[in-house]
Structure 1
């Protein structure tokens, strides 16, 4: 980690804030206004570039109607900050925070049938394998 790299915990908390904000359908501008900061400051919080103080994190949790502890769930421990698994988890988290990831997750959780969900996973894996083979 270089001097300019965000702390992994700050990045994690920021990404969880972003995920909850997006799930709530709240724009960065609207959250910033409610917090009394600019949307650029919200962006910095979400990227982990600027740390979120405890009081500000509580304010965000209240605005998004979640518990503060939600922002720390799955946070990397010191031991897990090194290794390939962290990169893989980071890639998954990065995707889930895109608009497509949020849309996909929202639609997927609405499917009640486990069998249908399994078929969608199988389809996605097949499409990914074909893409890897250069057939897609």
Structure 2
């Protein structure tokens, strides 16, 4: 099974008028693994003991996730094709299945508490580098 992941950073866009200026963005996570193949999506975060702040997993494509066999809670952020937040689940525990989110194109899995920490809201756009 392939374990090489593309890495990305996720920012909260503070100003709609200046989308290319990183100075107007708040860094949410600088160590995001991108799971964009069948095997990477299949493995996900399985086998990890915890998820430190600043790390996460971006699953592409994705409309629904499960937390079977996980050892910790997660925050889930469902994004559309433009990286706009279309749904969020805070602090989902292990052994759960998220709802199917039709509008979602990708799901960002982050440490539980991240949504609250950054005051993220549906309709906000995230920037992925």
Shorter-chain TM-score range: under 0.3
Q: Which has the larger radius of gyration?
A: 1
Q: Could you say which structure has the higher helix fraction?
A: 1
TM-score normalized by the length of structure 1: 0.23
TM-score normalized by the length of structure 2: 0.23
